[in-house]
Each structure stands twice: as structure tokens, then as C-alpha cells.
Amino acid sequence: MVEKLNGVKDYVKYFFLKFFVVLIYIISHVYDYATFPIYAIYYHPWLVRRYKKEEHARQEIRDDCIVYHSLQTPTALNVEIERNGLDTMDKIYDYVSQKFRQYPCLGTREILSEEDEVQPNGKVFK
């Protein structure tokens, strides 16, 4: 909703506001034009575009599902996980705990107190 301008003060405020907005618009454009070559040299957007167009996975259509296989060779960590049959986070945690048992792993905290927290809807959380 546009208010009517009454008096000289309103016109002066409107002029300064419009001048300020136009000034920011011009400064932002000059900044964009000045920093674009730096951006292009540093980020190489043409290489990013080329990478995005490349294929990264191979699709295998099965009777009941579709499976995507990576085209990259597996790393040593992927091979180790596969060889040891680590298919859940629990198995990975147990394996890593055994593999690096000589190093400090995780700590525990002592429970100082336990309180019941009653929610507005009547549920109780410990």
C-alpha cells in the first residue's frame, strides 16, 4: 500500500531512500563486474560444468529394483568394509573398536541426575 507524500519532508525522505537504493544497486553491479574474472580464474566454472555432464554411475535394472553402481574404483576403506561384511553401523563400530583397541576411543559420562520433564500434552520425558 502506497502512502501519499505530504510536504517537503516526505519528498526529501523519498528522494534519499531512492538515491540510497540506486547507489547500492550500482555498487553491487560494479563489484560483480570487477570480481567476475577473479571468480572465473579461481573456480573454473567451465570445468565444473563439464564434470556435472559426465556419467558417474552405471544403472542396472533388475526385476524388482534398480541398482546404481559407481564408476570409480573402490578405495582401500571400501574394500575393507566389503571384505569383512560390515553392512551396519553397529558392525562397523565393533570392527573399528577391535582394530584400534590400543588407542583411546570413546569416553563415557557419569549420569549426575535424572529428571522427569512433563510436556504440555501430558507426555513425560526422562
What is the overall mean pLDDT for the chain?
90
pLDDT of residue 126: 79
pLDDT band of residue 1 (cuts 50, 70, 90) is low
pLDDT of residue 45: 93
Q: What is the DSSP string of 10-37?
A: HHHHHHHHHHHHHHHHHHHHHHHHHHHH
pLDDT per position as a tens digit, 27-36: 999 999 999 9
pLDDT per position as a tens digit, 19-78: 999 999 999 999 999 999 999 999 999 999 999 999 999 999 999 999 999 899 999 999
pLDDT of residue 20: 97
Where in the chain are the domains? 7-49, 56-99
